[in-house]
Amino acid sequence: MSGQFQAYQIGKSDEGQRCVLTQLSDNDLMEGDVTVDVEYTTLNYKDGLALTGRSPIIRKFPLTPGIDFSGTVSESSHSGFSAGDRVILNGFGVGEGHSGGYAQKARVSGDWLVALPEGLDTRHAMAIGTAGYTAMLSIMALEDHGINPGDGDILVTGASGGVGSVAVAILNRLGHRVVATTGRMNEKEFLIDLGAADVLDRADFSEKARPLGKELWSGAIDVAGGNTLANVLSQLKYGGAAAICGLAESMNLPTTVAPFILRGISMYGIDSVNAPISKRKIAWQRLASDLDLDLLDSLSFDLDFADLPQAAEDILAGKIRGRAVVKVP
């Protein structure tokens, strides 16, 4: 029936949070000046937290989860977009406080949308997704710090995951020597194929960090936090920098001031959700030009829309390799 569409919806009752696949109508769409026929979405770590209810990601009930999507504009009263435009949405609280990408339709503010850059299709956009775009923001932070190819090794933690795998692929393509850490040493070949020059066991980073370790990395991208990040900071070379984007190990950071005051290192916080639109546009343009699309294909896999709830458990258990692409039926 026209006006009806399939969507996941998360509701809340006294028994807790529950996610169901259901039919909604256009009347259920939230406020916004652009309506999008969603073509692809994806599964990020935050989606895993939202779907399972493991963390209070969803701030409004009932709500369609999915922090990012790509698709085609069907209606628009926003000056920047017209029907037929291909668009990407990630962040801005979509899938958290505003209904998101796990639906055939979404209505959002046009101010949150980025036009699909030339060179990418809507599937590529979600193979990249929030995770890949966060990898790009992290790389841009290291570049802004002044780190150039040839300056020394860049360490990427959680390298088999979404942010990590895309970061390894792009850094290598840009000419950096990349060292990857992983808890899945059986994925070593996968990481080498993506461009890692060396792969280290993340167990080497799991013990309490010494204030200063051996100077090994000119820069680092960290998705883990906790002891992993503390060890990375203690191993940064003089003047080095780490881009900090995740908490896959822990929210805590048990470090000391030593690497900051004795080696002049820097930490850059990476936020994908509220990054200004100008920065997003640059990041998506860079993704279109700096990421090898064959490698992107090799690090992404198709996930059925119907399998999202199970995959949410898997991503939190660290069982997802690379990036999941979900074709919205």
Give contact residues for ligand NDP (rule: CB under 6 A).
44-46, 130-131, 134, 158-164, 182-184, 202, 223-224, 228, 245-249, 270-273, 315, 318, 320
Task: Answer for the pair 168, 195: CB distance below 8 angstroms, yes or no.
Answer: yes
| Angle in degrees, 0-180, between the axes of helices 308-316 and 45-52, rounded to the nearest 10 | 110
- Min. distance of Cβ 163 from ligand NDP in angstroms? 4
In this complex, which beta carbon is closest to ligand NDP, that of residue 95 or of residue 117? Answer: 95
Annotate the chain with three-state secondary structure: CCCEEEEEEEEEECCEEEEEEEEEEHHHCCCCCEEEEEEEEECCHHHHHHHHCCCCCCCCCCECCCCEEEEEEEEECCCCCCCCCEEEEECCCECCCECCCCECEEEECHHHEEECCCCCCHHHHHHHHHHHHHHHHHHHHHHHHCCCCCCCCEEECCCCCHHHHHHHHHHHHCCCCEEEEECCHHHHHHHHHHCEEEEEEHHHHCCCCCCCCCCCEEEEEECCCHHHHHHHHHCEEEEEEEEECCCCCCCCCCCCCHHHHHHCCEEEECCCCCCCHHHHHHHHHHHHHHCCHHHHHHHEEEECHHHHHHHHHHHHCCCCCCEEEEECC
- Min. distance of Cβ 324 from ligand NDP in angstroms? 9
Q: Rounded to whole angstroms, how far apart are CA atoms 26 and 14?
A: 28
- Min. distance of Cβ 265 from ligand NDP in angstroms? 20
In this complex, which beta carbon is closest to ligand NDP, that of residue 184 or of residue 327? Answer: 184
In this complex, which beta carbon is closest to ligand NDP, that of residue 106 or of residue 223? Answer: 223
Q: Rounded to whole angstroms, how far apart are CA atoms 271 and 187?
A: 28
- Min. distance of Cβ 225 from ligand NDP in angstroms? 7
Place of tokens 């005051």: 261
Residue number of the CB closest to ligand NDP reads: 161
Beta-carbon count within 10 A of 84 CB:
9
In this complex, which beta carbon is closest to ligand NDP, that of residue 213 or of residue 318? Answer: 318
- Min. distance of Cβ 234 from ligand NDP in angstroms? 16
- Min. distance of Cβ 26 from ligand NDP in angstroms? 30
In this complex, which beta carbon is closest to ligand NDP, that of residue 80 or of residue 309? Answer: 309
- Min. distance of Cβ 74 from ligand NDP in angstroms? 28
- Min. distance of Cβ 248 from ligand NDP in angstroms? 4
- Min. distance of Cβ 315 from ligand NDP in angstroms? 5
In this complex, which beta carbon is closest to ligand NDP, that of residue 236 or of residue 320? Answer: 320
In this complex, which beta carbon is closest to ligand NDP, that of residue 29 or of residue 169? Answer: 169
In this complex, which beta carbon is closest to ligand NDP, that of residue 29 or of residue 303? Answer: 303
Task: Answer for the pair 125, 327: CB distance below 8 angstroms, yes or no.
Answer: no
In this complex, which beta carbon is closest to ligand NDP, that of residue 24 or of residue 230? Answer: 230
